[in-house]
Amino acid sequence: MRHLAVLTSGGDAPGMNAAIRAVVRTAIYRGRTVSGVYRGYQGLINGDIHELGARSVANIIQRGGTMLRSARSMPFMTPEGRAQAAENLRRHGVEGLIVIGGDGSFRGAHALSQEHGVPVIGIPGTIDNDIYGTDVTIGFNTALNIATEAIDRLRDTAASHDRLFLVEVMGRHAGHIALNVGLAGGAEAILLPEVPHDLDEVVSSIVEAQARGKSSSIIVVAEGAYEGGAMHLKEKIEAACGYEVRTSILGHMQRGGSPTTRDRVLASRLGYAAVEALLEGQQGVMAGVDKRGTVFVPLEDTWSKQKEIDWQLFEIAKVLAV
């Protein structure tokens, strides 16, 4: 395999640039040619494929976002679109593809491989940390730090004005961010998509906290934990117990900014591992990490199996919120 390509797909995550850098420089170190595909799968269809050198990825390890950019591609979801993408890879002489993204991106990579024989390897890049087969994904640690800092700042205001704050963090289907920042921020309650919540229970927890002498509270809400999100929950709480509630929706700021040291190291490790694996003949897998170090799992597992939240952390958070 003499020519590799790399693309980023789906939502951006801090550390994607570090992964791109690692892919490019590892491939060059091994004497291979490497190209970047701009704007994800849409770029594959459009033939937006350009050779990269070691200097092409200089001074990007500290930058958030993705230098290759990302885009959603409806045409790639069709057999015709994937056929065009595969033809463009062949026309550029690309023999193996590395895809940095989440489970939707991996589904696309798997389909491309199955239908057209393109060797692919995935690298998990998403702040949600919801990819099965890896303990942590690129961008997760940075998102935690951003959200935790925001909660620390909001607690100062909450304490100064004796207020209840609802803080909504990202996580439409997974509560990994909410659970970790809720525990780290000393939240009085954490609402997760994985745990059904009754409004009466939420209100009771607030009232009980007040009875125990708490004059202010922080409740962390994953965006998918309550229908209508934190704004709808705010209205329900105010109507049920009469407390003044403030809401802060952190939104996309969690996806931006310079990656932490941990995310840069993780991205570098996985970018290197993905290239080495392709050159050794592996394909159809994702490079991830667990307690053993770098691991490879079938791409199909990343979306067909569910990654559980850390239930021990959830129990700890409940105990420490008294």
Q: Which of 12, 48, 128, 263 is catalytic?
A: 128
Please give the structure tokens belonging to residue 274.
């993905």
Q: What is the DSSP string of 29-98?
A: HTT-EEEEETTHHHHHHHT-EEEE-GGGGTT-TT--S-TT-----SGGGSHHHHHHHHHHHHHTT--EEE
Is 212 in a helix, a strand, or coil? Answer: coil
Known binding positions for Mg(2+):
103
**Three-state secondary structure readout of 253-265:** HHHCCCCCHHHHH
Is 285 in a helix, a strand, or coil? Answer: strand
290 is catalytic: no
Element (DSSP H or E) covering residue 223:
none
Q: C-alpha distances in angstroms, 108 versus 41, 113, 127?
A: 8, 9, 19
Torsion of CA 137, 64, 35, 85, to 10 degrees: 70
Known binding positions:
11, 21-25, 72-73, 102-105, 126-128, 155, 163, 170-172, 186-188, 212, 214-216, 223, 246, 252-255
Element (DSSP H or E) covering residue 149:
helix 140-161
Known binding positions for ATP:
11, 72-73, 102-105
Known binding positions for substrate:
126-128, 163, 170-172, 223, 246, 252-255
Known binding positions for ADP:
21-25, 155, 186-188, 212, 214-216
- Judge contact between 22 and 57, C-beta under 8 A: no
- The DSSP secondary-structure symbol of 125 reads B
Residue type, 202: V
Unique residue bearing structure tokens 């939502």: 11
Task: Report CA Rg, the chain.
Answer: 22
Residue 124's DSSP bridge partners are: 101
Positions marked catalytic: 128
